[in-house]
């Protein structure tokens, strides 16, 4: 009787290098797609470079806008998701500047379609009623320019003007130093990006901080070292997580 040994061939179940690479690519692409969906449809962060909304928003504040509440745009389409609520007077709104349809602006919405606006000696009237300034709003120039005195006349005395259909009238809280709807008109609803939700970071200005330039690579490490040493002085700790009403 012949005893024959049976040899079993075990096939390796370990994935090959190509499989590992493909799995990592799928994970990466999924993360990128999710990040794009969140950025374009849910929330987005913005840095504020100007003082037009002082003292509500300061230069160097980083805010997060809720893009979902007004009906987020669906990427690569002209469609919007259903809005939870429409923009209303008093909201701090992020939108695309009508002048170039590229730059993101943040202002306070003061009137919606059909409402009549007039500014008399710096005082804002909507539908004939005085609109009180926001708690942190301010005027920095005591001079009052008459109507028709170039751009300054538009600043202090303006209107009456009725906001067109599907449009919003925006003004900065720093009323004397804001380039807003008084100068370039209303904002169409298609340009609305989101509602300012929270200040998640705030970095104060420092004129002594080394300027980073493309012509001198050494400015990068100089700036990094300087800002590291002055980190705790430059962060506006009291502004972190400030919520917009």
pTM of the prediction? 0.78
Q: Is residue 13 part of a domain?
A: no
**In this predicted structure, what is the pLDDT of residue 211?**
86
pLDDT tens per residue, range 196-208: 999 999 999 888 8
How far, rounded to the nearest angstrom, does the alpha carbon of residue 91 sit from its chain's CA centroid? 13
| Nearest in space to 162 (alpha carbons), one of 109, 113, 124, 89 | 113
Q: Is residue 5 part of a domain?
A: no
Q: Is residue 139 part of a domain?
A: yes
Token match 């330039």: residue?
Answer: 213
- The active-site residue, picked from 41, 52, 186, 202, is 52
Query: Is 107 an active-site residue?
Result: yes
List beta partners, residue 235. Answer: 203
Q: Is residue 24 part of a domain?
A: no
Query: Is 52 an active-site residue?
Result: yes
Q: Is residue 123 part of a domain?
A: yes
| Domains contained in the chain, number | 1
- The active-site residue, picked from 67, 73, 107, 189, is 107
Structural domain boundaries, residue 127: 34-243
pLDDT tens per residue, range 79-94: 777 778 899 999 999 9
Q: Is residue 49 part of a domain?
A: yes
CATH number at residue 233: 2.10.109.10
Tokens of 8: 């079993």
pLDDT tens per residue, range 139-162: 999 999 888 766 677 899 998 999
How far, in Å, CA of 97 to CA of 172, rounded? 13
Question: Residue 11: CA atoms inside 13 Å, Cβ hemisphere, count?
Answer: 3
| Nearest in space to 115 (alpha carbons), one of 94, 95, 129, 135 | 129
């Amino acid at each position: 009787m012949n005893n024959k040994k049976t040899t079993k061939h075990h096939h390796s179940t370990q994935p090959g290098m190509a499989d590992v690479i493909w799995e990592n690519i799928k994970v990466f692409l999924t993360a990128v797609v999710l990040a794009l969906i969140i950025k374009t449809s849910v929330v987005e962060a913005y840095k504020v470079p100007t003082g037009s909304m002082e003292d509500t928003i300061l230069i160097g504040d980083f805010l997060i806008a809720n893009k979902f509440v007004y009906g987020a745009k669906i990427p690569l389409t002209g469609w919007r998701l259903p809005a939870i609520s429409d923009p209303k007077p008093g909201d701090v709104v992020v939108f695309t500047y009508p002048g170039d349809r590229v730059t993101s602006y943040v202002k306070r919405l003061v009137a919606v379609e059909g409402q009549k606006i007039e500014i008399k000696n710096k005082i804002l009237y909507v539908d004939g009623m005085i609109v009180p300034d926001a708690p942190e709003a301010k005027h920095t120039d005591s001079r009052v320019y008459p109507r028709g005195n170039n751009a300054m006349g538009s600043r202090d005395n303006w209107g009456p003007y009725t906001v067109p259909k599907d449009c919003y009238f925006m003004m900065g809280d720093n009323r004397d130093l804001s380039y807003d709807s008084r100068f370039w008109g209303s904002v169409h609803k298609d340009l609305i990006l989101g509602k300012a939700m929270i200040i998640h970071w705030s970095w104060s200005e420092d004129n002594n901080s080394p300027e980073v330039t493309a012509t001198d690579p050494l400015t990068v490490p100089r700036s990094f070292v300087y800002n590291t040493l002055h980190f705790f002085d430059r962060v506006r700790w009291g502004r972190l997580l400030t919520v917009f009403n």
